[in-house]
Amino acid sequence: MVTVAPDRSVMQRREALERANEVRAARAQLKRDLRARRVRVHDLLLDPPAYLETAKVFDVLLAAPKYGRVKANKTLGRCKISPSKTVGGLSGRQRAELAAMVSA
């Protein structure tokens, strides 16, 4: 079975591209803020902005100071969270447990 994307008008494609660029720019700024310690991962996990809902939790942790690939994977493993999980896809338990672990 072949799945075909629905036809979109030029305007719809342009609007989607503009939204995607806005999200990318906002996430890039957020990562810079995380590295500069103007924002805390703990706060982002408990109350994420809308543009962060579809971001991978692993990528958010990587942007935080003192978190590399190994530490991010270990932290997610302890909380039983898949590295491919999105911030918006976290359950209440996962969100609270991960927030507590990154703030410690």
Spelled out in words, what is the top-level CATH class assigned to the domain 11-103? mainly alpha
What are the distances in angstroms from CA 27 to CA 54, 63, 66, 93? 11, 10, 19, 25
Secondary structure of residue 86 in the 3-state scheme: strand
pTM of the shown model? 0.81
Q: Which two tokens stand for residue 57?
A: 């939790």
Give tens-digit pLDDT for 49-102: 999 999 999 999 999 999 999 999 999 999 999 999 999 999 999 999 999 999
Give tens-digit pLDDT for 11-64: 999 999 999 999 999 999 999 999 999 999 999 999 999 999 999 999 999 999
How many CA atoms does the CB half-sphere of 40 hold within 13 Å?
Answer: 11
Q: Which amino acid, one-letter code, is at 52?
A: L
CB 26 within 8 A of CB 51: yes
